[in-house]
Structure 1
Amino acid sequence: MRRTAATRNISSTWLAATVAALAASGALASGGGAAGAAGAAAAYVPPAPVRSDRLADVAARLAVPPDDAKALVRWWWFGPNVVKTQLEREMQAMKQGGFGGFEIQPVYPMELDDPARGIRNVPYLSPEFLDAVSFVNVKAHEQKLRVDMTLASGWPYGGPNVPVTEAASRMRVAAVAIPAGAASYALPSVMSGESLVAAFVGEGSDKQYDATKLRLLDAKSSATGRAAVEPAAQARVAVHYIASRTGQQVKRAALGAEGFVLDHLSRTAIDHHLNTVAEPLLKAFGDKPPYAVFSDSLEVYGTDWTGDFLAEFQRRRGYDLKPHLPAVYSGQGPDAAAVRHDWALTQTELVNERYLTPVNDWATAHRTQFRSQTYGEPAVSMSSNRLVALPEGEGPQFRSFSFTRLATSACHLYNRPVVSAETWTWLNSPAFSATPLDMKVEADRMLLQGVNQFVGHGWPYTPPGAQEPGYSFYAAAVFNDHQPWWNVMPDVNAYLQRTSYLLRQGQPANEVAVLLPNDDVYAALTPGKVSLSAEMHKHVTPLLTEQILDAGHNLDYVDAESILALGVKHPVLVLPHVTRLAPEVLAKLQAYVRGGGKIIAVGGKPSLAPGYADAAHIGGQVAAASKALFASGAQVQVVADDAAVGAALKKALPGDLRLASGQSDVGFIRRKLADGDIYFIANTSNREVRTTATLRATRRSAAWWNPQDGKTTPASVKPGFALILAPYESRVLVLSDAAQATAPGAGSSVAAAGAGTASVLADLSRDWQLAFAGAQPQAIAELRSWTDTAATRYYSGEGVYTKDVTLATAPAANARVTLDFGPGTALESTPKVPAGMRAMLESPVREAAVVYINGARAGSVWKPPYQLDVTQWLKAGSNRIEVRVANLALNGLAGQERPDYRLLSARYGQRFVPQDTHLIEPKPSGMLGPVRLLSDQIK
């Protein structure tokens, strides 16, 4: 196609035009929503999280953090088959366990209707279902629990109200052989919901042809089903491009919610869904709208088209896509990558404008907020998160490319103070295997990426009278009160609440930005898999991420959209194998370097225009701007590969927190306040880390803030200060310009207090009394797993260990006495966990314990270090020690036959397959030892 002056520079200026339009509409304003939202509901101000820029304010709430920082759970309603008494009971349990609220997610039936047992599946959006939603909303407000609502059943959005004309769309390519001499050929069938977009003819067969040599053909449907064609001496092929539908059905749909996934590139489809599904849902909330409405990850598989795509492409890109369809859908020819860039980019713009923006506007108009997992397919970008009020991530991969970091980076850039993450999906499969330590291990990886709101995956509603341990979602752990270790859930949630609260304070302080090369990824995308997030790992590799983290830094992502709108605020910017970049973005980078910014380019310099229109001219501008940028001097470096990034980064900016050893095991994230710094530091490994640490900058005072109980102790951060972390231990270091009020001690870990200085006051590894529910206590000479005894092999519940210990004197004023349960056993490899993750450590207490000394609750034990300070509860003479140990619900489940879902699937179709049931077996349980009382001096 010949490109005229009218089309010149369209590929290079789309970003500037897009950002300017967004800025004019208010979408880039801090805390703002999508275009038009302010006008739709100007009076609505969403609830603000409790946060401060002053350390004294933060410290004042440390002991009792605000409720808005509590973790939420995804509440699965199976069927839906719910009764009000049980709904209320489960909400009360959530609150007692320390959860702050829930997200309602109606999903597939778990059982057939059974009137004798009160099992009755009601259709989604039926009066009975909406009445249950209304009831839950009222009761939740009474209990001060947050309520979120998924704007659909299952995912992605869709259902029975989606006609085939609004279903998720794709381009279907149909090649038809034309015999030599033929004057017509049979057209491919075009069914309901489909339309013929274009046809081409050329040499070859329906099995093999050169797409670059096809020419446009005027092929139209006819009553005979055949198309006329000029005869030719050789056999040829007619290639048809048919706008079709993916046929994808809503995943895990509730009864009555089955149907097509809707077309996320169609405003008509989105508006129809909002009118027919979202409106009835919100009416059920009356005058108390949900805190947020939710959309799960974009998993619209195979979509790459919509009905008016050609017209929208022409309007946005400035040229006709139709002649280039063979290049797009074959990948052949020198222009294929550039055209594919424009084709994929257009899809991002459409999903931004027709899905994210209107749903966010709708939410604002209905006095709620849109919480969205904005990644997947269609190809949303990192900056697409700017269009939603509450971005959400998923995935704990903090040392590689991460969907979670997409959300946290966008929140850091676009001033969204709260960023949530779906957490614990597939944790320690099969269901009921997950432990409190597993929860912490994954949660810490989320915190290190900047997450400060947990959405636990999840809480399965279980009807009254169901056999224990109750229902479970097919791909998730279980975090309700059917787990015996629920006894420590308040302590687990206290940790999650306090760390979430702390990581909302002040401002993000990551100092390295990594440019997501969206333009390069767009150009490499292929039909049927148009996803930036799925392919970005080829540029943002694990090695690249590791090099940055191991240099003593944390990082954010940026993209071309954010650079044009906001510039670059980080001291160092990394360009990972970037070849396509608009001249306008390079101009911003030149200004960034002039202002003192530093750039590390990996693998070479940008040299190509992003897209197709006027590519030669724009490519020349890119080359010239790139040459000028990389002639800026020492502030701009080019390194050969990812492995060289760490050394270049150390040269550009010394690490914020540097360790003499164990750097790859320890992660950190910093929040910067006006008068202080908050460092969350976590050992992500299953082995103790003993090292020395150096901070690049310090302040007047330092203290350890215990994220479990909020107690503070003094810290020394002189260069080369000692840092000792138990396996999977996390700590919070706070630097301040003022003196901090602290108590004597050395932080959260007893091991850190005086390594090797503790003496054994008493060995308690033998001769306990052990009682199980409904049974008399039995004397046990040695500590061993309950599974070693036939009577308790399949027992799930609590075992109560008691022992009397005589002390000659009470602990001295400067002494600390610790109840130590042993170090646990590190695993060399994860056993039998095919999906998700788990802690690579076997606990000496399986899986959690609550300790009572002389009748008083002394605390809980569920994570390393498996130690508890019991000083204040001990006295001279006889002391009664009681340890209430709880194991997994999995053990009881292992003693049962697996459910037979044959009839359920016959009635409703197979909507789920329970995860990894062949791995269900009893796990070691109880207090395994050794157990000791240790005494050391408080420094």
Structure 2
Amino acid sequence: MSERVMRRTAAARLIPCAWLAAATLTGGGAILSAAYAQGAGPSTATGASGAAAPARTAMATAAATLAGEPVLSNRIADVAARLAAPPDDARAMVRWWWFGPAVSKPQLEREMLAMKAGGFGGFEIQPVYPMELDDPARGIRNVPYLSPDFLDAVTFVNNKAHEQNLRVDMTLASGWPYGGPNVPVTEAAGRIRVATAVVPPGADSYAMPSVMSGERLIASFIGDGNDKQYDATRLRLLDGAENPANGGAQPPAQGAVPATGGAVGPGIARVPARATIAASTQNRVVVFYIASRTGQQVKRAALGAEGFVLDHLSRSAIDRHLNTVAEPLLKAFGDKPPYAVFSDSLEVYGTDWTDDFIAEFKRRRGYDIKPHLPAIYSGQGEDAPALRRDWALTQTELVNERYLTPVNDWAAARNTRFRSQTYGEPAVSMSSNRLVHLPEGEGPQFRTFSFTRLATSAGHLYNRPVISAETWTWLNSPAFSATPLDMKAEADRMLLQGVNQFVGHGWPYTPPGTQEPGYAFYAAAVFNDHQPWWSVMPDVNAYLHRTSYLLRQGRPANEVAVFLPNDDVYAALTPGKVSLSAEMHKHVTPRLIEQVLDAGHNLDYVDAESILALGLRHPVLVMPHVTRLAPEVLAKLADYVRGGGKIIAVGGTPSLAPGYVDARRVSAQVAAASRALFTGPVVQLVADDAAVGAAVAKALPGDFRVASNASDVGFIRRKLADGDIYFIANTSNREVRTTATLRAPRSNAVWWNPHDGKATAVAVKPSLELRLAPYESRVLVLTDKPQAAAPAPRLAAPVVLADLGRDWRFAIAGEKPAAMPELRSWTDDAATRFYSGEGVYTRDVNLDAAGIQGARVTLDFGQGTPLESTPKVPSGMRAMLDSPVREAAVVYVNGQRAGSVWRPPYQLDVTPLLKAGANRIEVRVANLALNGMAGQERPDYRLLSARYGQRFVPQDTHLIEPRPSGMLGPVRLLSEKTL
């Protein structure tokens, strides 16, 4: 769970095949050509130090042997046959937080059964920080992570989950990132620490830096200046290594020798307290580069899981973690391994080094990094960008080979899968996702650069048909504020990016006897049965289940690729912040993404690695502000253009070598290749992002073009052998009435209702009439052969059959019904202001036979109120619409369940349940658990923090206040006569 993602979402609230054959050959291996890795030595032509072949073998074995792989269809009839009841593997999951861990078997089983009853298909176990001190009277006992009691609970849960056909995933750690008490300081996340010593005029010695446990002095430089100001390009390496500033090998500067010294152990050199040096008349500074540690501790760790975050660039650190943490966890699963093991987002803050980085850098890049440390860590000098590119690329290669590949191979060898949020720090790339069996995204930023689209794009490119996303992180903060509509609104933005497996964030385990509404993770929404609106969770999950299933079928059909200029981003990265995903938005801007989407296309990302490995299959490629590119990538682009591909270059064309070695010669090659490539008729050069939409439309007319509200309506298409599936969503809080034009309509078109699977015929020629309620979504299916579907009914304009806005009877649990002459929020009454739960509204209505005969009768609850802004929500997302039913309802007509109301349009077809004469209507409305919390004192975690340290701070608790609740009106029965 990325806290950076959570902060970013404040600005992204909801406002008005046959798979590529080449992908299966490269799925697990490191792919990096000698040209892309320009500057590498001969041993690194593939960019993988011997790891590629075993990884490919493991991936192929896993694909062939793992049980429970989803069955995917490539024909419309097969998909339609499963639409009413899709396979369980497409059901949403939840992240199950075990606090402490302090769990009991009876409660674990009760919560699993509740998950299943609510429509969830499984869970991911995530042990985190204690929520309460041990309390024998209540059965609360915090047990250490990986203790026998903890592992016994894992075994119990796994066995019970298999009995219930629930999927079980296991996080291979507690909290995030990977680490814990088994990580020695020598394998903790690494960084370079820069220290200085001032040498005044006339001084003949200087103080050496203090080098502590886990640290090593790797280089010292001297030059004119002081500790506040010096020219890094003119520093000289004190050990006499090559100095690129003046082009010659240098003797030890000024005859520097240590004042004291000596060995302290095998392979460990003691740093002397002072070093002597020949005196000078100038102010001088000595700059030290020390291989150090970030000191980062595992975030939100369970009891006994505290410790350093491990070095993700170190194979020994990863192997230690697999041996000491992962193996005991897997043994607890016995002969039924988890469906997948999981790694959360890479948030190894500040890391940029590992112990053998100097040797690995020279082996891969072909030159010694040590003389260039001042340029890399200061950014000074014209060579600094190229050097930083090589330095950051080396880190990507190391995390790929030493973290992602070994963990994925380890999982495959144990008959499970590796599910990974592969973004963040260290600087993994989009193509790094090829190394994991199950890529996962995070973040609903549909119309900006998106971490989620990194995962879905890699899935589309590298044949990973199931792509999950951590969903609803910080949804409508604070905890217990989220509504079912909030869930759908964010989920739709995930679906539009290509997600087809939801992992809800999340489900907090709550011990029996805890004051309602129970536990909440410090930064998350809650989706368990402590929510009053749990009654509609099966309906919400039915929608998520069906849409996830549909977006797995066939193959992805996005037609525009946006190139991720990794080399340019590498070159701009700075020490302690080595992340492609965090900085890519400067190239892939919101304006650029909006231009592509509004031109009637959806998109995938590609990068140099994917182009070299797989070529390009998208008809159009957009290259945003690319300056650094390897000649071999340009050669692939030339092949692409000769094969009919079209390129749009934004803001200029490539002109520089990616890296440092032989940069002048390679840059000349790049510039020449660019001139040859970007002068053809199928290549467009546009000045800025604002011109991209017109250029895309010129290159390829939109796949799905709406006549208006282009920024509100999103779509994604899946292509099957005999048809196309379009998921279409209104992402705004207002109704959209427009038309849509499909570039390639087929002879038959049908709406598939994503909520119940019913099919209705529709016309798409010459255009599709599109009327979408706020946050409404639909599925359009196009085929060349007729489909089984009911004809769209021809109905007269609706008339009001009965106004039900008054004279209800209302009751809450345990109380007798009372008259409610006017509909109003029950929080208006002091007695129910802090009530969280269900309120039951009943009313009788007499109907004439003439009014209902030959008509469709709808119970209409109103449209809701669009919101213009949410100044009180500092982070997270929410649907910008206040519902007329706060927050969900189940409706009964004459004692029979008519359905649920939790999303626009707030209507139910009640035709078959009505009769002439008296009819009883009952509406059971559930509000938020937040209201009950508003009437309670906040928990005091002072003693908990005194015992375990402050491991969490509940977010946004100052915003806890009662929200309007109940059926607010208007309510009407509408009659539409059949024509």
1:21-40 Cα deviation digits (max 9, x unpaired): 7799877xxxxx93442588
Q: Match of 1:647?
A: 694
Which deviates more, 214-223 or 262-271? 214-223
Q: 2:575 aligns with which of 510, 527, 531?
A: 527
CA distance in 1, matches of 2:132, 2:57: 45
* Offset at residue 692 of structure 1 (A): 1.2
Q: Match of 2:242?
A: none
Q: 1:194 aligns with which of 204, 211, 215?
A: 215
Q: Does 1:787 align with 2:827?
A: yes
1:42-73 Cα deviation digits (max 9, x unpaired): 97334321220000000000000110000000
Q: Match of 2:269?
A: none
Q: 2:185 aligns with which of 145, 164, 173?
A: 164
8 Å Cα contact 2:657-2:670 kept in structure 1: yes
8 Å Cα contact 2:389-2:659 kept in structure 1: yes
Q: Match of 2:756?
A: 709
8 Å Cα contact 2:650-2:685 kept in structure 1: yes
**One-letter amino acid of the structure 1 residue matched with residue 588 of structure 2:** V
CA distance in 2, matches of 1:386, 1:721: 38
CA distance in 1, matches of 2:638, 2:853: 63
Distance 1:365 1:543, change over 3 A: same
1:442-499 Cα deviation digits (max 9, x unpaired): 0000000000000000000000100000000000000000000000000000000000
8 Å Cα contact 1:379-1:532 kept in structure 2: yes
Q: 1:315 aligns with which of 342, 363, 375?
A: 363
Q: Secondary structure at the match of 1:781?
A: strand
CA distance in 2, matches of 1:247, 1:161: 14
**One-letter amino acid of the structure 1 residue matched with residue 566 of structure 2:** N
**One-letter amino acid of the structure 2 residue matched with residue 86 of structure 1:** Q
Which deviates more, 215-224 or 696-705? 215-224
* Offset at residue 762 of structure 1 (A): 0.6
Q: Does 1:64 align with 2:85?
A: yes
Q: Does 1:776 align with 2:816?
A: yes
Q: Secondary structure at the match of 2:633?
A: helix
8 Å Cα contact 1:151-1:277 kept in structure 2: yes
1:508-548 Cα deviation digits (max 9, x unpaired): 00000000000000000000000000000000000000000
Q: 2:299 aligns with which of 251, 255, 261?
A: 251
**One-letter amino acid of the structure 1 residue matched with residue 173 of structure 2:** A
8 Å Cα contact 1:10-1:317 kept in structure 2: no
Q: Match of 2:685?
A: 638
* Offset at residue 234 of structure 1 (A): 1.2
How many residues align structurally? 920
Q: Match of 2:165?
A: 144
CA distance in 2, matches of 1:23, 1:317: 13
* Offset at residue 18 of structure 1 (A): 7.0
Q: Match of 2:6?
A: none
8 Å Cα contact 1:687-1:727 kept in structure 2: yes
Distance 1:866 1:17, change over 3 A: farther
CA distance in 2, matches of 1:928, 1:199: 72
**One-letter amino acid of the structure 1 residue matched with residue 321 of structure 2:** H
Q: Secondary structure at the match of 1:425?
A: coil
CA distance in 2, matches of 1:127, 1:46: 28
Q: Match of 1:749?
A: none
1:845-900 Cα deviation digits (max 9, x unpaired): 00000011111111000000000011111111111111110000000010000000
Which deviates more, 153-162 or 182-191? 182-191
* Offset at residue 183 of structure 1 (A): 1.8
Q: Secondary structure at the match of 1:61?
A: helix
Q: Does 1:211 align with 2:250?
A: no
Q: Secondary structure at the match of 2:849?
A: coil
- Structural mapping, 1:85-234, within 5 Å: 85-218=106-239, 222=261, 224-234=272-282
Q: Match of 1:745?
A: 792
CA distance in 2, matches of 1:447, 1:173: 45
Q: Secondary structure at the match of 1:670?
A: strand
Q: Secondary structure at the match of 2:765?
A: coil
Q: Does 1:877 align with 2:924?
A: no
* Offset at residue 228 of structure 1 (A): 2.1
* Offset at residue 87 of structure 1 (A): 0.1
Q: Match of 2:379?
A: 331
Q: Does 1:544 align with 2:570?
A: no
CA distance in 1, matches of 2:616, 2:801: 58
* Offset at residue 313 of structure 1 (A): 0.2
Q: Match of 1:424?
A: 472
Distance 1:929 1:656, change over 3 A: same
8 Å Cα contact 1:15-1:560 kept in structure 2: no
Q: Match of 2:966?
A: 926
Q: Match of 2:252?
A: none
**One-letter amino acid of the structure 1 residue matched with residue 191 of structure 2:** R
CA distance in 2, matches of 1:149, 1:742: 42
Q: Match of 1:670?
A: 717
CA RMSD of aligned residues (A): 1.8
8 Å Cα contact 1:16-1:564 kept in structure 2: no
CA distance in 2, matches of 1:816, 1:875: 13
Q: 2:776 aligns with which of 698, 712, 729?
A: 729
Unaligned runs of 5+ in 2: 1-32, 240-256, 263-271
Q: Match of 1:12?
A: 38
8 Å Cα contact 2:39-2:364 kept in structure 1: no
Q: 1:864 aligns with which of 904, 926, 951?
A: 904
CA distance in 2, matches of 1:461, 1:8: 50
Q: 1:848 aligns with which of 888, 891, 896?
A: 888
**One-letter amino acid of the structure 2 residue matched with residue 12 of structure 1:** Q
Q: Secondary structure at the match of 1:250?
A: coil
Q: 1:391 aligns with which of 415, 433, 439?
A: 439
Q: Does 1:82 align with 2:103?
A: yes
* Offset at residue 17 of structure 1 (A): 8.9
CA distance in 1, matches of 2:439, 2:457: 10
Q: Does 1:601 align with 2:622?
A: no
* Offset at residue 659 of structure 1 (A): 1.0
Q: Does 1:459 align with 2:507?
A: yes
* Offset at residue 745 of structure 1 (A): 3.1
8 Å Cα contact 1:19-1:565 kept in structure 2: no
Q: Match of 1:821?
A: 861
Q: Secondary structure at the match of 2:176?
A: coil
CA distance in 1, matches of 2:817, 2:792: 38
Q: Match of 1:689?
A: 736
CA distance in 2, matches of 1:43, 1:630: 43
* Offset at residue 11 of structure 1 (A): 4.4
Which deviates more, 70-79 or 867-876? 867-876
8 Å Cα contact 2:834-2:934 kept in structure 1: yes
Distance 1:46 1:811, change over 3 A: farther
CA distance in 2, matches of 1:892, 1:499: 33
Distance 1:934 1:19, change over 3 A: farther
CA distance in 2, matches of 1:42, 1:778: 62
Q: Match of 2:405?
A: 357
* Offset at residue 129 of structure 1 (A): 0.3
**One-letter amino acid of the structure 1 residue matched with residue 66 of structure 2:** V
Distance 1:349 1:26, change over 3 A: closer
8 Å Cα contact 1:505-1:673 kept in structure 2: yes
**One-letter amino acid of the structure 2 residue matched with residue 485 of structure 1:** W
Q: Match of 1:30?
A: none
Q: 1:579 aligns with which of 627, 637, 641?
A: 627
8 Å Cα contact 2:852-2:911 kept in structure 1: no
Q: 1:613 aligns with which of 614, 637, 661?
A: 661
Percent identity over paired residues: 79
CA distance in 2, matches of 1:688, 1:65: 29
Q: Secondary structure at the match of 2:868?
A: coil
CA distance in 2, matches of 1:821, 1:862: 11
8 Å Cα contact 1:13-1:584 kept in structure 2: no
TM-score under structure 1 length normalisation:
0.96
1:182-215 Cα deviation digits (max 9, x unpaired): 2211100000000001000000001110000000
* Offset at residue 235 of structure 1 (A): 1.7
CA distance in 2, matches of 1:141, 1:395: 31
8 Å Cα contact 1:77-1:104 kept in structure 2: yes
